[in-house]
């Protein structure tokens, strides 16, 4: 996905000034070498989402028309009335104290463990937490055992640290391998990109293996509230909290966010971990942004304090379920000759794999952009970059009819791709 032709295809019709005839030709220092190993796919699918002629099935975005704008307006007013200038100042690196206390209280009630504010760090979304974990734990060459395929944002966050990776086997966790790793990375609820929901027994088995290995377990849980077919099993954090001390002192580093339960624009997330790890993350955060937005965190506090996130999440589930079903039913008509998939029980994505690895989805992407439809190819979720035979398709952002049109366009793109390859066209 670093192919210049793909970038040109995505941004065709978009003018970007990248230089000037009068620009000085002075040679300047080269950028850091890690930039040569990255990709710009996130920029691409966000840009595609802003083009009215493109149906974007790419971005992991909620439906903007469902945002609780009235409730956020009321919460903003309450935040200023209740907290005044404290919501407008620089604040503690750890985050807005009332929100930290509220999150600790919630997770104590939900898990049966005991969490205090010392277990909680507020971040700019859970993406910042991933970045901070990398800064605290990863040196060049260090091993991460990661769920595969892996969330693109995590790979991006840790790429500057130059780690190595091995895949996590949920069916048989490898204790010896984990003992060599700085941490294990998991997304057990409706994983990005696959939408997989991990059963409770495998969650507990992974926690047992991590405990034996003596390492950390990062449980990234942004999609918890997107329960389309019933609730998920208890979090791994819940099992660890019941085993651990009071306050919590277990090996799980848990990440949450309001980006899916409310809106992504607040940029409020949280990390729960044992207090010493929280303090290490605080030191890394101090050097990153000094202080998060007390204003955004105060607004989030007002929303969570009244359980607006709980009510809102429950209210939007029927709309997302309808969109998922629209995607899968239309795909059955137009894509099933060449792709197969499972209907995800929650989350935001359907993971479609080419039958017999017949289609290279990096190459298919070119044809899709000619049909003005976007998806995310599997190569960017593979820490080796070699898996080019699947694609992630989003169903939450667009209305059902727009999704159906996007699938029809994708079907035409597949037909054009197959026609351009005689060996496939004869099948």
DSSP notation for 259-279: TTTT-GGG--EEEE--HHHHH
* pLDDT for 9: 46
Per-residue pLDDT of the chain (427 residues; tens, 9 = 90+): 545 445 444 434 443 444 445 555 678 998 888 887 766 666 666 666 567 899 999 988 999 999 999 999 999 999 999 999 999 999 999 999 999 999 999 999 999 999 999 999 999 999 999 999 999 999 999 999 999 999 999 999 999 999 999 999 999 999 999 999 999 999 999 999 999 999 999 999 999 999 999 999 999 999 999 999 999 999 999 999 999 778 999 999 999 999 999 999 999 999 999 999 999 999 999 999 999 999 999 999 999 999 999 999 999 999 999 999 999 999 999 999 999 999 999 999 999 999 999 999 999 999 999 999 999 999 999 999 999 999 999 999 999 999 999 999 999 999 999 999 988 866 6
* pLDDT for 129: 98
Q: Distance (Å, rounded) from C-alpha 216 to C-alpha 146?
A: 12
List the structure tokens of 16. 């970007």
Residue found by looking up tokens 């607004």 in the block:
299
* pLDDT for 18: 43
* pLDDT for 427: 63
Q: Distance (Å, rounded) from C-alpha 7 to C-alpha 40?
A: 8
- Contact 228/209 with Cβ under 8 angstroms? no
Q: Is 226 helix (H, G, I), strand (E, B) or coil?
A: coil
Residues in the chain: 427
Q: Distance (Å, rounded) from C-alpha 212 to C-alpha 290?
A: 36
**Pairing verdict, β 216-220 and 181-186:** parallel
* CA proximity to 103, closest of 208, 256, 223, 230: 256
List the structure tokens of 358. 């017949």
Render the burial of 380-413: b for 16+ CB within 10 Å, e for the rest.
bbbbebebbbbbbbbbbbbebeebbbbbbbbbbb
Report which secondary-structure segment, H or E, holds 367: helix 361-370
**Pairing verdict, β 55-56 and 164-167:** unpaired
Cβ-in-10-Å burial (0-12, 13-18, 19+) of 275 comes to middle
Report which secondary-structure segment, H or E, holds 217: strand 216-220
Query: With the CA atoms of 324, 152, 50 and 353 taken in that order, what torsion angle do they form, in degrees rounded to the nearest 10?
Result: -40
CA-CA distances (angstroms) from residue 367 to 179, 337, 340? 44, 17, 19
Q: Distance (Å, rounded) from C-alpha 235 to C-alpha 248?
A: 15
List the structure tokens of 186. 């998991």
- Contact 225/309 with Cβ under 8 angstroms? yes
Q: Distance (Å, rounded) from C-alpha 160 to C-alpha 182?
A: 16
* pLDDT for 426: 61
* pLDDT for 36: 76
Angle between helices 308-334 and 69-83 (to 10 degrees): 150
CATH topology of domain 39-60+315-425: 3.90.1150
* 176 alpha carbon, distance to own chain's centre: 28
DSSP code, position 233:
P
- Residue extents of the structural domains in the chain: 39-60+315-425, 69-306
Q: Distance (Å, rounded) from C-alpha 193 to C-alpha 395?
A: 12
Q: Distance (Å, rounded) from C-alpha 76 to C-alpha 81?
A: 9
The pTM (predicted TM-score) of the whole model is 0.92
Q: Which ranges constitute the DSSP H helices of 143-266?
A: 152-158, 175-179, 200-213, 236-243
Q: Is 11 helix (H, G, I), strand (E, B) or coil?
A: coil
Q: Distance (Å, rounded) from C-alpha 282 to C-alpha 166?
A: 28
CA-CA distances (angstroms) from residue 150 to 112, 185, 188, 296, 383? 30, 9, 12, 29, 7
- Contact 190/395 with Cβ under 8 angstroms? no
List Cβ neighbours of 423 (8 Å cut-off, separation of 6 or more): none
* pLDDT for 22: 54
- Contact 167/146 with Cβ under 8 angstroms? yes
Domain 69-306 has CATH 3.40.640.10: yes
Ramachandran quadrant class, 347 (left: phi over 0; alpha: psi -120 to 50; beta: rest): left
């Amino acid at each position: 996905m670093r192919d210049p032709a793909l970038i040109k295809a995505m941004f065709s019709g978009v003018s970007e000034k990248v230089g000037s005839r009068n620009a000085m030709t002075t040679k300047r220092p080269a950028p850091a070498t890690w930039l040569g190993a990255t990709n710009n796919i996130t920029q691409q699918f966000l840009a595609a989402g802003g083009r009215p002629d493109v149906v974007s099935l790419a971005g992991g975005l909620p439906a903007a028309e469902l945002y609780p704008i009235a409730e956020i307006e009321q919460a903003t007013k309450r935040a200023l009335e209740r907290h005044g200038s404290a919501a407008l100042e620089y604040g503690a690196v750890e985050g807005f104290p009332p929100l930290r206390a509220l999150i600790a209280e919630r997770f104590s009630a939900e898990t049966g463990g005991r969490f205090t504010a010392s277990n909680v760090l507020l971040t700019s979304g859970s993406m910042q937490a991933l970045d901070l974990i990398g800064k605290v734990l990863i040196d060049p060459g260090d091993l991460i055992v990661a769920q595969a395929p892996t969330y693109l944002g995590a790979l991006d966050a840790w790429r500057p640290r130059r780690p190595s990776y091995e895949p996590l086997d949920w069916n048989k966790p490898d204790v010896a391998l984990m003992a060599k790793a700085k941490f294990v990375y998991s997304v057990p609820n409706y994983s990005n990109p696959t939408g997989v929901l991990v059963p409770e027994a495998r969650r507990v088995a992974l926690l047992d293996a991590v405990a034996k290995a003596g390492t950390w377990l990062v449980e990234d849980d942004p999609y918890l509230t997107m329960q389309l077919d019933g609730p998920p099993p208890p979090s791994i954090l819940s099992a660890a909290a019941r085993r651990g001390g009071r306050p919590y002192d277990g090996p799980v580093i848990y990440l949450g966010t309001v980006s899916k339960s409310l809106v992504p624009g607040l940029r409020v997330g949280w990390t729960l971990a044992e207090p010493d790890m929280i303090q290490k993350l605080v030191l890394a955060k101090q050097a990153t942004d000094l202080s998060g937005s007390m204003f955004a965190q105060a607004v989030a506090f007002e929303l969570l304090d009244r359980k607006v996130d709980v009510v809102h999440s429950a209210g939007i589930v029927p709309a997302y379920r309808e969109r998922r079903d629209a995607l899968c039913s239309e795909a059955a008509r137009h894509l099933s000759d060449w792709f197969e998939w499972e209907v995800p029980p929650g989350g935001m994505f359907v993971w479609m794999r080419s039958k017999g690895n017949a289609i290279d989805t990096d190459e298919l992407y070119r044809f899709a952009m000619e049909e003005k439809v976007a998806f995310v190819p599997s190569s960017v979720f593979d820490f080796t970059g070699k898996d080019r035979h699947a694609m992630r398709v989003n169903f939450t952002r667009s209305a059902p009819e727009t999704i159906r049109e996007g699938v029809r366009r994708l079907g035409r793109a597949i037909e054009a791709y197959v026609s351009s390859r005689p060996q496939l066209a004869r099948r």
